[in-house]
């Protein structure tokens, strides 16, 4: 049984114990401050004030991996709880569309998390680097389908993700889409009972607010549930389509009022739609949900042609995509589909006809080489890992 150091605080000790669930620390790993020169982390791939992310190579297989190192001593109580949650959940979740940790252990007061290297990074990195004006509908469909599959797994296990956005959707070298950001997750299950709503309202950073649902931001006695994530899926769909984060140019107070009180706002106003598309019907008309039912959309008439944004590339989006977004962005969470129902939406029906490699054909050719998979041989020892010099890139936390 793993015992945390005697000087570890209660939360830090719990986190270290949680880390031991998936890894028994190996004494041959050096401390971060005394790492031999030949094994030093020479290239930092990303960092904040507590965590740094590095690229490393598993020597026996040549496989690249990601190492995230966090200084536990400088973490406040909220950050420690979030880390503990992510470590524990990664041990229990088993789904191809959920990002998992291969190894978790502590070296002194440093938490080391080793996970698969996602060659394409996050969807937001792809937007910044290759698709500044937004992705094609086919690529969006492939990315969202994987993300919603992972989300459906979380919801079936009674969990709300609470941070669905492009930066938390990762794509591997072989085209696998996974959800990350588990530290934001909250469980509906308490004391063996599954509740219909939760009332946990953490202090979200203002930078996350554009993706959050009205009911989560409202923080009232009604609480929120898994349908809050569906709203975030709609915002993320708009983000992928336009290359911009909806509400990003709004003052935060104005954005909150817009979400909480209206008037109805569609982030798709910044996207491009075919000239021939007709007006969306108002709330008195039923709009085809694409999943065998009709729902009401927000009141007011949305004119696609007049709100069109002209860019050098002539992108078009289908009515099915627009229907998906409208469903997800319903003000009333009860009118939003479940993740399971969303997977059967007409927008995703083509996924059954497309091959597994279709997403790779839509991504930059330079990365269209599947990575070698790492066999599940743990624990590692220090000589098995070296840290190559690589050019800097963006990493999301």
Sign of CA dihedral 311, 301, 137, 335: positive
Q: Are 132 and 141 in contact (CB under 8 A)?
A: no
Q: What per-residue confidence (pLDDT) applies to 269? A: 61
Q: Are 27 and 353 in contact (CB under 8 A)?
A: no
Q: Are 178 and 172 in contact (CB under 8 A)?
A: yes
Q: What per-residue confidence (pLDDT) applies to 57? A: 84
Q: What per-residue confidence (pLDDT) applies to 310? A: 34
Q: What per-residue confidence (pLDDT) applies to 147? A: 98
DSSP state of 29: S
For domain 123-359, give its CATH number from 1.10.8.60, 1.10.510.10, 3.10.129.10, 1.50.10.20. Answer: 1.10.510.10
Q: What per-residue confidence (pLDDT) applies to 318? A: 92
Q: What per-residue confidence (pLDDT) applies to 248? A: 81
Q: What per-residue confidence (pLDDT) applies to 259? A: 84
Q: Which fold has domain 10-117+372-386?
A: Phosphorylase Kinase; domain 1 (3.30.200)
Q: What per-residue confidence (pLDDT) applies to 22? A: 39
Helix (H) or strand (E) holding 295: strand 294-296
CA distance 240 to 238: 5
Q: What is the pLDDT of residues 347-362, one digit of tens each?
A: 998 886 665 567 888 9
Q: pTM of this prediction?
A: 0.74
Q: Are 335 and 213 in contact (CB under 8 A)?
A: no
Residues (pLDDT < 70) of the chain are: 1-49, 262-314, 352-357, 365-397
Q: Are 167 and 396 in contact (CB under 8 A)?
A: yes
Q: What per-residue confidence (pLDDT) applies to 261? A: 76
Pairing outcome for strands 385-386 and 51-58? antiparallel
Whole-Å CA distances, 262 to 185, 214, 218, 258, 259:
28, 10, 13, 5, 6
Q: What per-residue confidence (pLDDT) applies to 274? A: 32
CA distance 252 to 209: 8
Helix (H, G, I), strand (E, B) or coil at 282: coil
CA distance 219 to 201: 7
Q: What per-residue confidence (pLDDT) applies to 191? A: 81
Domain extent listing, the chain:
10-117+372-386, 123-359
Q: Are 103 and 90 in contact (CB under 8 A)?
A: no
Q: Which among 40, 113, 104 has a CA at the least distance from the CA of 387? A: 40
Helices (H), the chain: 10-19, 77-92, 123-129, 137-156, 214-218, 227-242, 252-261, 319-328, 339-343, 358-361
Strand partners, 66: 55, 115
DSSP string, 44-85: EEEE-SSEEEEEEEETTTTEEEEEEEEEGGG--HHHHHHHHH
Q: What per-residue confidence (pLDDT) applies to 84? A: 87
Q: What per-residue confidence (pLDDT) applies to 334? A: 95
DSSP state of 224: B
């Amino acid at each position: 049984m793993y015992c945390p150091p005697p000087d570890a605080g209660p939360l830090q000790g719990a986190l270290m114990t949680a880390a031991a669930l998936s890894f028994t620390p190996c004494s041959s790993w050096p401390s971060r401050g005394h790492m031999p020169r030949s094994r030093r982390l020479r290239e930092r791939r990303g960092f904040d004030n507590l965590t740094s992310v590095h690229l490393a190579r598993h020597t026996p297989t040549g496989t690249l991996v990601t190492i995230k190192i966090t200084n536990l001593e400088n973490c406040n109580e909220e950050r420690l709880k979030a880390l503990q949650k992510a470590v524990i959940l990664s041990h229990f979740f088993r789904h191809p569309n959920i990002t998992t940790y291969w190894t978790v252990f502590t070296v002194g007061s440093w938490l080391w998390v080793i996970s698969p290297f996602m060659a394409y990074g996050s969807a937001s990195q792809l937007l910044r680097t290759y698709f500044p004006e937004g992705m094609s509908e086919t690529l969006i469909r492939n990315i969202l389908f994987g993300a919603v599959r992972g989300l459906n797994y979380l919801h079936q296990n009674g969990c709300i993700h609470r941070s669905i956005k492009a930066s938390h959707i990762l794509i591997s070298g072989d085209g696998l889409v996974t959800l990350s950001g588990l530290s934001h997750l909250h469980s509906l299950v308490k004391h063996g009972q599954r509740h219909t709503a939760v009332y946990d309202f953490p202090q979200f950073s203002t930078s996350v607010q554009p993706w959050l649902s009205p009911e989560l931001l409202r923080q009232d006695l009604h609480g929120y549930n898994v349908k809050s994530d569906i709203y975030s899926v709609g915002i993320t769909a708009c983000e992928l389509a336009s290359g911009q984060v909806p509400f990003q140019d709004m003052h935060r107070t104005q954005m909150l009022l817009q979400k909480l009180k209206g008037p109805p706002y569609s982030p798709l106003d910044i996207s491009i739609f075919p000239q021939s598309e007709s007006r969306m019907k108002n709330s008195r008309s039923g709009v085809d949900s694409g999943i065998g039912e009709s729902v009401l959309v927000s009141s007011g008439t949305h004119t696609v042609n007049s709100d069109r944004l002209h860019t050098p590339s002539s992108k078009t989006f289908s009515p099915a995509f627009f229907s998906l977004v409208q469903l997800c962005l319903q003000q009333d969470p009860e009118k939003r589909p479940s993740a399971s129902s969303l997977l059967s939406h007409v927008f995703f029906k083509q996924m059954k006809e497309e091959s597994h490699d279709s997403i790779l054909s839509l991504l930059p050719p330079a990365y269209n080489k599947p990575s070698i998979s790492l066999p599940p041989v743990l624990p590692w020892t220090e000589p098995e890992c070296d840290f190559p010099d690589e050019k800097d890139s963006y990493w999301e936390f």
